Structure 1
Amino acid sequence: MALLTLGINHRTAPVEIRERVAFTPERMAEAFAELRVATGASEAGILSTCNRTELYLAGDDDCAPAVLRWLAGFHDLDAADLENVIYVHRDSDAVRHMMRVAAGLDSMVLGEPQILGQLKDAYALAREHNATGTFLSRLFEHTFSVAKRVRTETAIGENPVSVAYASVSMAHQIFSDMSRNKALLIGAGKTIELVSRHLADAGVKDFLVANRTLERAQALAGLHGGKGIVLSEIPEYLADVDIVISSTASPLPILGKGAVERALKKRKHRPYFMVDIAVPRDIEPEVGGLADVYLYTVDDLRQVIEENVRSREGAAREAENLIASGVQDFLDQLRALDAVSTLKVFRSRAEMLRDAETEKALRALRNGTDPETALRSLARGLTNKLLHQPSTQVRKAMAEGRTEVADFLRELYQLEALDADEHTTTEKL
């Protein structure tokens, strides 16, 4: 079984490209319906976050060219444009890559915990669409086990600097006393929930949460004594807030340049701090060109995050060792499974030969053959049938100079041990 991972991430592609390759929840069913048919893969998984889009495929052949063509076509892109930003991992490298992703070693924020949950969601979604089989299921589940070991046995996850934390840290550069600022959070998922906690810790007391569903917005806003609104109400409240942080799964921008321009006129040059964590982006890029607006994307958070990377280098090395061990364990499991499959075929063939010789002996007995003669004929026939093919193949291999086949035969049947026993018996006699 060939394993392939093909994707882009924050290191290989800017947000302008990542947002074009992202899979929205609305198109996931369509993607799973097409992916295996278009690529010939028997199993598939899709991970799509603000920092990466990755496809995991298992099949009989390497299908990388077909996957690239499908990915480009699905998103109306030129395959040649994607080739420069795409990475491809195969077999053991693909196993290692998935484990590094799950452990947070390939994240912009080293050791960040959200990616493991996102990978688990990706696995659940693939299962929901009947896209996984034995191979990918084993890989995902083993990967989660290795990631758990990394979390519990290293310090990689202690006091992580998340994208949410980095966003709030950057807000401090604009507003020294954040207790006097009002925040608008767009979205109500896990990232925005983390943002709200960090803002509250930084002193922000006045919260607005805008979301597609009012109930979820109110629930999150209520944690900090704030107010929940629906997305369509954002223009009504925009002029009153100072901090805007957005992270939704919307395929189109939620906050446009026109709405921000109108709000700026009412604010009389009071600055806005905005962070767009979403991919595709929630805030039109043109907003960043307006005076008194400090707009950052997820790619702009690197400086804060790089300090986190330097502080975790020792833990990262320990994590890499655990992952190397995890990769080897998984490959050993696959080899064991291959052995089981081969042994099943071997046993089935032996039983078929046994049944054929047994039936021949029974016919001989029914026809009046002496039982001892029939039994000896059965034993001789079964021995000849079982040994004929291996003997032929060993002679052929030896003639071709593949002497290791004879060594395997001695090991399989412990022939050297038998020779030693016979030699010892002869000496006693």
Structure 2
Amino acid sequence: MEIVVVGLDYKKAAVGIREKAAFDTNAKKHKWARHLLDQGHREVLILSTCNRSEIYMVSKQPKKAVEDARNAFASIFGGQEIDSYLNVWQEREGIMHLYQVASGFDSMVLGEDQILGQVKQALEFGMEYKHSGKFLNKLFREGVTFSKKIRHHYGFSETPISTCYTGIQLLRQSGNGLEGKKVLITGAGNMGTLALRHVLSEKPEKVLMTNRRHDNLMATLSEYQQVIPVRYDDRFDALDEADVLISATASPHVVYMADRVKIRKKPLSVLDLAIPRDVDLELRHRDRISLFDIDDLRKVVDGNMEKRRQIVEQCKEDLQKEVEGYIHWKKVSRLDPLLDYVSEKCEGIQRETIGYLEENTELTPDQLEEIGRLLMGHLKQSFKKPIIRMKKPDDKLQQSNLEVFMEGLSKRHGG
């Protein structure tokens, strides 16, 4: 079984490419995960964020897994042109990549906080729909645990940084700060709610918020009585009043169409944090409108990341140990069928022995139970040393013996 990762990210693919190849709905994630499982691969998890779309797979046929994942991206994108933007990582590199992603080491905003929650959500979705299994569940859980550990130990999140926070910094640096402004936020999901918290800390004059599902909006705003809820159908009227629009929905379609946005009488700053993008690109050419999308965040990233880069350097040794630990666990997990087989045989011997004693002796039930317990203990003890030797990470001779044994065991039990 080999771990394979295929995907695209902000480093090679601009936002216009990423949004065309995004797994932007749960239905799409479920559809393509099931498709890849039906191709004969063992496990699939899909991680989709504003900066990356990645397919994680466990397969006995890694080359086929890479090809099937490439074809999935081509189908979503609408052509094989997507191939030139795709990254491929296999086994050790794929494991390392997930740890780096979960920790924020591979993010545009180095060490950003949102990715940890997105990795958790990908795992929960895969487990809920049974797309993932032992290997990917373990990998993603360990990636999350490592991320929490380094954030706590190295103070990685003493000054929390997120995509939303960086976007607001971008507005401020471009002369479009939020203090004293009327701000409209679109989207009441995780990104929109995080944006709301950052916006409120900027001392705006008024904050309005809208969402496609009004009940979700009202649930979010139950903790923010100062925020004015706006019906989704009334969002363009609210936009006329706003000085700043921050949009972060999960909509697969454009939310603010250019032909429905009126000619501005006052300046409007737009921060579009969605993938696919929420705001019609045509608005970028309108007078009095400044439009920024997720890729524009690079303008402010480099200036405030030096401390976090130093922390990443300090974490490299810890990261390598975590990866080696997972690889060792993965190798040792090959013993599971052997352990099950040994356990089954021991229980069989125990049953046969107790059955014989019941028929041919006058031992009491308590005596038979004690003999059965002692026999099982001795049987397990007899297998303990060879199994421990097989679990040693660098014991090549024992690993070779295990492969021969497992091959014979597989043939004996029909694969």
Look up the match of 1:306.
Answer: 302
Task: Give yes or no for the alignment of 1:67 onto 2:69.
Answer: yes
Structure 2 equivalent of residue 218 of structure 1: 218
1:209–1:218: 8 Å Cα contact kept in structure 2?
Answer: no
Q: Secondary structure at the match of 1:331?
A: helix
Q: Which runs of 5+ in 1 are unaligned?
A: 359-403, 410-429
Structure 2 counterpart of 1:234: 235
Q: What is the aligned partner in structure 2 of residue 257 from structure 1?
A: 258
Structure 2 residue identity aligned to 1:147: S
Tell me if 1:30 matches 2:31: yes
Tell me the equivalent position of 1:187: 187
Q: 2:319 aligns with which of 302, 323, 341?
A: 323
Look up the match of 2:368. Answer: none
CA distance 1:231–1:320, shift in 2 (3 Å): farther
Map residues 372-391 of structure 1 onto 2, 5 A cutoff. none
**1:103 and 2:67 are equivalent in the alignment:** no
TM-aligned CA distance change 1:177 to 1:106, over 3 Å: closer
Indicate if the aligned counterparts of 1:207 and 1:221 stay in contact, CA closer than 8 A: no
Determine if contact 1:184/1:209 at 8 Å carries over to the other structure: yes
**TM-score normalised by the chain length of structure 1:** 0.76
* 1:255 CA drift (Å): 0.2
Which whole-Å deviations, capped at 9, do the CAs of 1:49-74 have from their partners, x for residues lacking one? 1111010100111120121012211x
Structure number, greater radius of gyration: 1
1:332 is the counterpart of 2:334? no
Q: Residue deviations 1:94-137, cap 9 Å, x none?
A: 11110111111111111111111111111111111111122212
State the alpha-carbon separation in 2 of the partners of residues 113 and 76 from structure 1: 28
Query: 2:170·2:299 contact (CA, 8 Å) conserved in 1?
Result: no
Aligned partner of 1:140 in structure 2 is 140
Q: What amino acid sits opposite 2:270 in the alignment?
A: M
The offset of 1:154, in angstroms, is 1.5
Residue 292 of structure 2 aligns to which amino acid in structure 1?
A: Y
Counterparts in 2 of 1:343 and 1:200: CA distance versus 1, 3 Å: closer
Q: 1:259 offset after TM fit, Å? A: 2.0
1:295-353 alpha-carbon deviations (Å, 9 max, x no partner):
0100001121222322311111123322211101111112222245456668989999x
Kept after mapping to 2: 8 A contact 1:109/1:308:
no
1:53 matched residue in structure 2: 53
Residue 161 of structure 1 contacts residue 308 of structure 1 at CA under 8 Å; is this kept in 2?
no
The gaps in structure 2 that reach 5 residues or longer are: 354-395, 402-415
What residue is the counterpart of 2:269 in the other structure? Answer: 273
Matches within 5 A, 1:156-167: 156-167=156-167
Q: What's the secondary structure of 2:287's corresponding residue? A: coil
Task: Say if 1:6 and 1:88, in contact at 8 Å, map to a contact too.
Answer: yes
* Map of 1:414 onto structure 2: none
Q: Is the 8 A contact 1:156 1:319 kept in 2?
A: no
Contact kept, 8 Å, 1:207 with 1:224, in 2: the verdict is no
Equivalent-residue separation in structure 2 for 1:158 and 1:341 (angstroms): 45
User: Matched residues in 1 for 2:206 and 2:14: separation?
Assistant: 33
CA distance in 2, matches of 1:281, 1:405: 55
Aligned to 1:288: 284
- TM-aligned CA distance change 1:173 to 1:337, over 3 Å: closer
Is contact 1:211–1:230 with CA below 8 Å preserved after alignment?
yes
Decide whether aligned partners of structure 1 residues 217 and 343 sit closer, same or farther in structure 2, where only a CA change above 3 A counts. closer
* Aligned-pair CA distance for 1:29: 2.8
Question: How far apart in 2 are the matches of 1:148 and 1:154?
Answer: 10
Q: For 1:312, what is the secondary structure of its paired residue?
A: helix
Are 1:110 and 1:308, in contact at CA under 8 Å, matched by a contact in 2?
A: no
Q: Does the aligned pair in 2 maintain the 1:160–1:308 contact within 8 Å? A: no
How many angstroms apart in 2 are the aligned matches of 1:50 and 1:177? 23
Superposed CA RMSD = 2.6
Contact 2:10 2:52 in 1 (8 A): yes
Against the structure 1 CA distance between its residues 320 and 224, is the aligned structure 2 distance closer, same or farther, given a 3 Å change threshold?
farther
Give the TM-score, by structure 2 length.
Answer: 0.78
| TM-superposition CA deviations, 1:372-392 (whole Å, max 9, x none) | xxxxxxxxxxxxxxxxxxxxx
Aligned length: 352
Q: Contact 1:210/1:231 (CA < 8 Å) preserved in 2?
A: yes
Matched, 1:87 2:87: yes
